[in-house]
Amino acid sequence: MTPEKMISIVELYEEGLRRGGVLKVRMDPKRSFHELTHDQVLAHAHYLCDGVKEYARDAKFWDKANRHLTAIQMCLSFVGWYRLEELMEHNRAL
């Protein structure tokens, strides 16, 4: 995956999160995901989007960008926005 591809995937998710009125809020790192409401999980996913776009542009942070993208995709899957198959297709599509 190229940085441009990663950024385009994140922008797809950001668009949906904005349309859904989801705020950008980092989750408390002392909590676990199962303690969060769906809205809180989505808010954390939205919070991570800016970091992915920043990290994807810097080769030193490529691994971090990938970890954040994975976290966003897992959040979106946990709350039922996407199935695993759909997320995998996002990663494969040109």
Full residue range of the structural domain in which residue 40 is found = 3-92
**Percentage of the chain lying above the pLDDT 90 cut:** 87
Q: Indicate the pTM of the whole model.
A: 0.90
How would residue 23 be classed by pLDDT, with cut points 50, 70 and 90? very high
Least confident stretch, 21-25, 67-71, 89-93? 89-93
Q: What is the pLDDT of residue 92?
A: 85
Task: Examine the pLDDT at 12 and tell me if it is beyond 90.
Answer: yes
Determine the distance from the C-alpha atom of residue 85 to the mean position of all C-alpha atoms in its chain, rounded to a whole number. Answer: 16
Query: How do residues 37-61 score in pLDDT, each as one tens digit?
Result: 999 999 999 999 999 999 999 999 9
What is the total count of domains within the chain? Answer: 1
